[in-house]
Amino acid sequence: MQVLKLGVNIDHVATLREARYRGQKYGEPCPVEAALTCEAAGAHGITAHLREDRRHIQDADVRALRRQISTRLNFEMAIAPEIVRFALKIKPDIVCLVPEKRQEITTEGGLEVAKQLTAIKRVCSRMSKASIAVSLFINPDVTQIEAAAKTGAQFIELHTGSYAEHYSNARLRKRELNRLIVAATHAHSLGLRVNAGHGLDYNNLSTLHVVPYLEELNIGHSIISRSTQIGLTKAVKEMLGLMKGYRS
């Protein structure tokens, strides 16, 4: 049985810090300390998104994460040249290429791989030469999956936002689950490894177990929100408990 891994996204810890200490070289809460707590609680990896506008995670946070965490650093990033150069210098274990819009609150929708194939292939090639694995954050869409298979990326991360949004409606939930099942199956058939994330929480996660070939779930907001009530260690362990029993 394959263990379904948990990557904890710590962006929202940094969001809270930046709300009070924006522009300062100090502040609380510390996303790196949060990452170490998540690891100690059993998380299999840490995810952080260095946005071009630096609205939450800062360059220094990523450098500190690279030095201090002992699991896996999943570095979410746009394909902007500045961020690509930073990633090549930091050398995370894996980068996850995501779309990025300045006006959005959080990442909305998946990467348009088919429309940016040449640029994404170039980034994948540069990461490969630096021995950095690549994941592409995409919608559960056959066109995007087939384009992803042409880029040289090893992983895709299926965008589960639509599934999460429609979870309370049985008919729409079934539709979105079917999309994810088809997408994961097709990606696997093309040799892509499959992760998933966005909008997953303590209520909708267990139903996702019907989606095959999943290796890792990246979850942030729900865990950080839950931690304000029961603490970060318990929040991570609760999520890990919900992930037990997954069979690919």
Catalytic site residue 108? Answer: no
Burial class (CB in 10 A: 0-12, 13-18, 19+), 26: exposed
Extract long-range pairs of 120-123: CB within 8 Å, 24+ residues apart. 120/79, 120/151, 120/153, 121/150, 121/151, 121/152, 123/79, 123/84, 123/97
Encoded tokens for 205: 């996660």
Task: Based on the residue annotation, tell me whether 112 is a catalytic residue of this protein.
Answer: no
187: number of Cβ within 10 Å: 24
∠ Cα 100 103 104 (to 5°) = 60
Question: Is 107 in contact with 198 (CB distance < 8 Å)?
Answer: yes
Tell the residue number behind the tokens 């996303």, with chain if given: 31
Q: Is 49 a catalytic residue?
A: yes
Question: Which entry of 76, 157, 176, 216 is annotated as an active-site residue?
Answer: 76
Task: Write down the catalytic residue from 12, 44, 49, 56.
Answer: 49
CA dist 53 and 130 (Å) reads 25
Residue 2 vs residues 25, 74, 93, 213, 243: alpha-carbon distances, Å: 42, 20, 20, 9, 11
The catalytic residue positions are 49, 76, 198
